[in-house]
Amino acid sequence: MLTIAVSKGRIYEETLPLLAEAGITPIDDPKKCRKLILQTSRDDVQLVIIRATDVPTFVEYGAADLGIAGKDVLLEHGADSLYEPLDLNIACCRLMTAAHKDAPEQRGRIRVATKYVKIAQSYFASKGIQAEIIKLYGSMELAPLVGLADCIVDLVDTGNTLKANDLEPRELIMNISSRLVVNKAAMKMKHAAIAALLSQFEQTLAKR
């Protein structure tokens, strides 16, 4: 049995066509049922539906053999303990700093609200900027509006969320896409099955 960890939402939706090309169709729809383990059209493949930030943990501990997670989540988790053989080029977006549209560029020590504490720390350190990082779990856009932070570090896709909150993107930290990650022991123990799946994904991606 191969277990693949996927998060609900955009990554799940964009993963479905890749899985379909590999002959894997989930039997239930996670939007309509509350099952956390989804059986598929293939007896030897099941999906576990978990929070995006938990995907690296499930794969690291071997609770899932494979997982699909954004590069942002993998970097924040510290993904040395996983193989990351494929960039799936899905759920693409940008990790950026953003600030109030009227805010001048800050000099000296700044306060940054984000859920990406590690990434933000190393980004500002690399620029020689002293930053106090405030960890939030959501609604980062609110922080500059209520004086909690000078700026935020968050994912930006269309930019509509920032705009709706009078913020603007400032600096690009990195481009983000979702990656396939593999448990190191599973890569050895289930090599044939995983290699076959990787090659099917690669073929589908090459056609795009």
Q: How far apart are CA 158 and CA 149, in angstroms?
A: 23
Residues at the site binding ligand AMP, with contacts judged by CB under 6 A: 10, 70, 91, 93, 154-161
Which residue number, 44 or 87, has a Cβ lying nearer to ligand AMP?
Answer: 87
Which residue number, 6 or 93, has a Cβ lying nearer to ligand AMP?
Answer: 93
Q: How far apart are CA 120 and CA 179, in angstroms?
A: 20
**Please, what is the minimum distance in Å from the beta carbon of residue 62 to ligand AMP?**
25
**CA atoms 139, 142, 144, 146: torsion sign:** negative
Q: Please report which residue ranges of the chain form alpha helices under DSSP H.
A: 10-21, 55-60, 71-77, 117-126, 142-145, 160-164, 184-189, 191-207
Which residue number, 130 or 160, has a Cβ lying nearer to ligand AMP?
Answer: 160
Which residue number, 88 or 194, has a Cβ lying nearer to ligand AMP?
Answer: 88
**Please, what is the minimum distance in Å from the beta carbon of residue 6 to ligand AMP?**
13
Q: Which residue has the tokens 């997982």?
A: 67
**Please, what is the minimum distance in Å from the beta carbon of residue 177 to ligand AMP?**
8
Q: CB neighbours (10 Å) of residue 18?
A: 21
**Please, what is the minimum distance in Å from the beta carbon of residue 184 to ligand AMP?**
25
